[in-house]
Structure 1
Amino acid sequence: MRLIPIECVKKDTVLGKTIYDSEGRILLKKGVKLTQLLIQKIKELNILSIYIIDEYSDYEIEDIIKPELRQKAVKILKETFNDIQRVSSFHNFEKCSLINYSKHELKYFENISNISEELLDNILSNKNLLISLVDIKNMDNYTYQHSVNVAVLSLVLGISLKLPKRKLVQLCSGALLHDIGKTFIDKDILLKPSKLNLEEFNIIKTHPEKGYNFLKNSYDINTNSKLIILQHHERVDGFGYPYGLNGNKINYMAKIVSIADVYDALTSDRPYKRAMCPSDALEYIMSNSGTFFDYEMAKVFTRVIIPFPSGTIVCLSNGDVGIVEETFPNYPLRPQVKILKSDNEQIIGSSVNLLNELSLVISGIQYEA
């Protein structure tokens, strides 16, 4: 199974991962053979990349959480955010907070806490804590799918950093709600299909404070979770927002979510930009460690992400094309590659271990061999 842009999908290709609609209902099950009509329907859903199974990648990449749990989390977040918008429509946006909520409406935040524990338990039950799957996002559900993915990435990093279970649940709840302030931002700005201008970006930058102010008086939501919402766009060099905090002045868990948030955003398709491949996103995280991101956390993060899952077709720096056969712990950018194409016909079919061939690097991902 490998991820390819929808425009590269050919007729009769086998779908590798189930596609859901914006309500979490199954649209196309994995294993279906794609006709030209189905490919067009996928494009119309604003799904820009899909997983396929072909002769180069005939096995499945396992998601670190169960697909049904992922959809359940997306549904809970969608209901929560939509309800906030509904209540806010009856109150001044700036003054709206949980004090405007009835006990019935507060159930949504109880659900967030419950789903956080479910996500954590599901990940802890998985012996493999490496992430090799990029989640496919429907543009209509981007905010909710992004928040769930940030929570999953944050949990894996938090577990690797040996956080206790109590704090991992707080981390997950904060990650799920990190963009809650965007419910108070004009949808025309949030859903703008092109790059934001400076004025629009400054409005977007108010979402951490808006989200924090909405929840700050709630005794049901932990302080760490609230600080994640407020500080997930702060940078360790002090040039983030909203307050320009630096170093240890930034909440520890907020620094975890900051890395997960940026990585998932970079590897996600958006209407105005295509996703960055996972290896380039990892390079971005590593090159900005110590400035944007906590250096030690970024170093650990690069060990839990597999940017080139088995079955990925890659181009090597010498011009050869190969398929990834195996990825090694702690060395995500230097897998073992089987050569598919080369000017030297004698090495076609042989394997190259990039841990040993230090003069070679992967220069990019290809979608056809």
Structure 2
Amino acid sequence: MRLVPLECVKTNTIIGKTLYDSEGRILAKSGLVLTQPIISKMKDIQIPAIYIIDEYSSEEIDDIIKPELRQEAISTIKESFSNINRITVADKFSKKDEKYFNNIQDMAENLIENILNNKNVLLSLVDIRSMNNYLYSHSVNVAVISLVLGIALKLPKRQLQYLCIGALLHDVGETFIHNEILMKDSELGLEELLILQQHPTLGYRYLSDAYNLSSHSKMIVLQHHERPDGLGYPDKLTDDKINNLSKIVSIADAYDTLSSGRPNKKAMFPSDVLEYLMSNAGRMFDYDMVNTFCKIVIPFSKGTLVELSNADVAVVQETLPNFPLRPIVKIIKSSNDNIINKEINLIDETSIVITKVVYDL
């Protein structure tokens, strides 16, 4: 199974992973042969890419959480966020909101248990989402990524609970931002950017009266865009002033945004996302946390087609621990017929690097 941009998908392609619409209903089941009407429907709801099965990638990639739990979590976030009054933050958190946020706390428990019971806690699957459902899917994915990093950092379960709830709610302030800004398909102007940057404060103020939410979770909502170098927002805090759980969510938020894209920005090449995080470690992100994160991410899942710096095309076979950008690959296209089907460990072949992901041969 491999991820392919929708514009590269052809009719008669086999879907590798079940797709859902913005209401959580099944749009296309795994194993379905795609027709043009189905592809058109996917374009209509702004699905950027899908997983497919072909001769190079027949094996399924398991999500780190159960698909049905992911959809349930998205629905929980959507229901909760949709009931927030968009008109003014002067309306304080009220009793009517409590049931929705109790549901979020219950969902956090389910996510934690699901991930803790997963023996292979590595990040490899990109969540396929409709841009119409971006905020809710993003919130769930950031929670999942944060938990995986939190587990790798050996956080106790109570801290994981605070972390997961805060991650699920980290963008709750965006419900007070006009949708034209959130879904704009071009770069934001300065005034729009300043409005968007209000969302941590707006979310924190809204949650300030939610007494059943931990202060640690609320602090994540407020601080997830702060930076160790003091150039973040809203309060330009420096490293020692930023809550450690907020630092985790900052990394997860950036990773998910960059790897899956936004309405006004295409997804980045997997290795470029890791390079971005590593090059900004110590400035935008916590240095030690980024180092740990890069050891638990698989940017090139098994079955991914890649072009190498020597112009050969290969299919990824395996990624070894601590070397996410140097997988074992099998050559499937080369000017040298003698190396077709030969496996190469890029840890040993230091002169060869992956230059891009290939979607069609």
Q: Structure 2 length normalisation: TM-score?
A: 0.98
> What letter corresponds to residue 113 of structure 1 in structure 2?
Q
1:315 is aligned, of 286, 300, 307, to 307
User: 1: CA distance between counterparts of 2:347 and 2:180?
Assistant: 48
**2:237, 2:176 → 1: CA distance?**
24
Q: Which residue of structure 2 aligns with residue 213 of structure 1?
A: 205
| Structure 1 residues without counterparts, runs of 5 or longer | none
The residue aligned with 2:33 is 33
Residue 57 of structure 2 is aligned to residue 57 of structure 1: yes
Do the aligned residues in 1 keep the contact of 2:318 with 2:328 (CA within 8 Å)? yes
What is the letter of the counterpart of residue 181 of structure 2?
Answer: I
Alignment of 1:3 onto 2:3? yes
Distance 1:94 1:40, change over 3 A: closer
**1:124-173 deviation per Cα after TM superposition (whole angstroms, max 9, x unaligned):** 00000001100001111100000000000000000000000011011000
Could you tell me which residue of structure 1 aligns to residue 134 of structure 2? 142
Determine the structure 2 residue equivalent to 1:119: 111
CA offset digits 1:297-346 (Å, max 9, x no partner): 00011111100111001111111111111110111110111011112221
SS at match of 1:143: helix
**Equivalent residues of 1:4, 1:52 under 8 A apart:** yes
- CA shift for structure 1 position 278: 2.1
Moved more, 294-303 or 31-40: 31-40
**Counterpart AA for 2:169:** L
- How far apart are the structure 1 equivalents of 2:101 and 2:317? 43
In 2, Cα distance between equivalents of 1:270 and 1:245: 26
Name the CA distance, whole Å, in 1 between partners of 2:79 and 2:53: 34
1:204 corresponds to which residue?
A: 196
Would you say 1:69 and 2:64 are equivalent positions? Answer: no
After TM superposition, the structure 1 = structure 2 runs for residues 46-195 of structure 1, keeping only pairs within 5 Å, are 46-85=46-85, 88-89=86-87, 93-98=88-93, 101-102=94-95, 104-195=96-187
1:117 CA drift (Å): 0.6
Q: Is the 8 A contact 1:205 1:242 kept in 2?
A: yes
Q: What is the alpha-carbon distance in structure 1 between the residues aligned to residue 206 and residue 42 of structure 2?
A: 37
> Would the aligned equivalents of 1:305 and 1:332 in 2 still touch at CA under 8 Å?
yes
SS in 2 for 1:84: coil
For structure 2, the 5+ residue unaligned runs are: none
How big is the shift at 1:198? 0.6
Amino acid at match of 2:352: L
Alignment partner, residue 12 of structure 1: 12
SS of aligned partner of 1:181:
helix
- Hey, what does 2:233 align to over in structure 1? 241
Shift in Å at residue 190 of structure 1?
1.4
Q: Which residue of 1 aligns with 2:42?
A: 42
Instruction: Using the TM superposition, give the Cα deviation of residue 193 of structure 1 relative to its aligned residue in structure 2, in angstroms.
Output: 2.1
Q: Give the aligned residue type for 2:92.
A: S
**Is the CA contact (8 Å cut-off) linking 1:137 and 1:269 kept in structure 2?**
no
Aligned-residue sequence identity (percent) comes to 57
CA-CA distance at 1:358 after TM superposition: 1.0
Show CA shifts across 1:95-141 (max 9, x none). Answer: 2221xx23x43100111111001000000000000011000011111
Partner of 1:361: 353
Moved over 3 A (4+): none
Q: Which amino acid aligns with 1:156?
A: V
CA distance in 1, matches of 2:169, 2:97: 16
**Does the CA-based 8 Å contact 1:189-1:200 persist in structure 2?**
yes
Task: Answer yes or no: is the 8 Å Cα contact 1:14–1:33 preserved in 2.
Answer: yes
> In structure 1, the residue corresponding to 2:328 is in which secondary structure?
strand
**Cα distance in structure 1, aligned partners of 2:310 and 2:331:** 12
Deviation for aligned residue 1:218 = 2.1
Compute the displacement of 1:349 (Å): 1.3
* C-alpha contact 2:183 2:264 (8 A) present in aligned 1: no
Residues 183-213 of structure 1: per-residue CA shift (max 9 Å, x gap): 1111221122221101000000000001011
CA deviation after TM superposition for structure 1 residue 248, in Å? 1.6
**Alpha-carbon distance, 1:38 to partner:** 1.4
Paired with 1:149 and 1:232, the residues of 2 have a C-alpha distance of: 15
Contact 1:49 1:269 in 2 (8 A): no
For residues 144 and 97 of structure 1, the distance between their equivalents in structure 2, rounded to whole angstroms, comes to: 22
Tell whether the 8 Å contact from 1:256 to 1:297 is kept in structure 2 after alignment. Answer: yes
Contact 2:46 2:130 in 1 (8 A): yes
